[in-house]
Amino acid sequence: MNTEKISDKKKEKILIIEDEQDIAELEKDYLELADFEVEIENDGKSGLAKALESEADLIILDLMLPGVDGFEICKRVREEKNTPIIMVSAKKDDIDKIRGLGLGADDYMTKPFSPSELVARVKAHLARYERLLGSVPHENSIIEIRGVRIDKTARRVSVNGTEKPFTTKEFDLLTFLAEHPNRVYSKDELFREIWDMDSIGDIATVTVHIKKIREKIEVNTAKPQYIETIWGVGYRFKV
Ligand code: CA
Following DSSP, what letter does each residue of 69-88 receive, concatenated? Answer: -HHHHHHHHHHH----EEEE
Res. 75: pLDDT tops 80:
yes
Angstrom CA distances, 171 to 57, 104, 130, 165, stand at 35, 40, 27, 9
**Which has the higher per-residue pLDDT, 192 or 12?**
12
Mean per-residue pLDDT, 21-44: 96
Mean per-residue pLDDT, 72-101: 85
* Those residues with Cβ within 8 angstroms of residue 191's Cβ, 6 or more apart along the chain or in another chain: 201, 202, 203, 205, 206
Q: Separation of 238 CA from ligand 1 center, angstroms? A: 62
Q: Cα(28)–Cα(192) distance, rounded to whole angstroms?
A: 50
pLDDT, mean over the chain: 88
Q: Separation of 66 CA from ligand 1 center, angstroms? A: 8
Q: Separation of 63 CA from ligand 1 center, angstroms? A: 6
* Those residues with Cβ within 8 angstroms of residue 135's Cβ, 6 or more apart along the chain or in another chain: none
Q: Separation of 139 CA from ligand 1 center, angstroms? A: 41
* pLDDT, tens digit (0-9, with 9 covering 90-100), for 88-121: 998 878 777 777 677 788 888 998 899 999 999 9
Which amino acid is it at 205?
T
Q: Cα(38)–Cα(56) distance, rounded to whole angstroms?
A: 9
How many other CB atoms are there within 10 angstroms of residue 157's CB atom? 23
Q: Separation of 19 CA from ligand 1 center, angstroms? A: 5
Enclosing H/E stretch for 12: none
The pLDDT, as a whole number, for residue 100 is: 64
In 136-186, alpha helices (H) = 168-179
Enclosing H/E stretch for 160: none
Q: Separation of 130 CA from ligand 1 center, angstroms? A: 29
Pick the CATH number of 142-237 from 3.40.50.300, 1.10.10.10, 3.40.50.2300, 3.20.20.80: 1.10.10.10
Mean per-residue pLDDT, 225-236: 92
Q: What fold, for 13-134?
A: Rossmann fold (3.40.50)
Q: Separation of 10 CA from ligand 1 center, angstroms? A: 30
Q: Separation of 117 CA from ligand 1 center, angstroms? A: 19
* Those residues with Cβ within 8 angstroms of residue 41's Cβ, 6 or more apart along the chain or in another chain: 15, 16, 17, 18, 47, 50, 51
Q: Where are the domains of the chain?
A: 13-134, 142-237
Q: Separation of 90 CA from ligand 1 center, angstroms? A: 8
The pLDDT, as a whole number, for residue 202 is: 77
pTM, entire model: 0.55
Count CA atoms closer than 13 A to 131's CA, side-chain side: 6
**What is the longest distance spanned by two Cα atoms in the chain?**
77
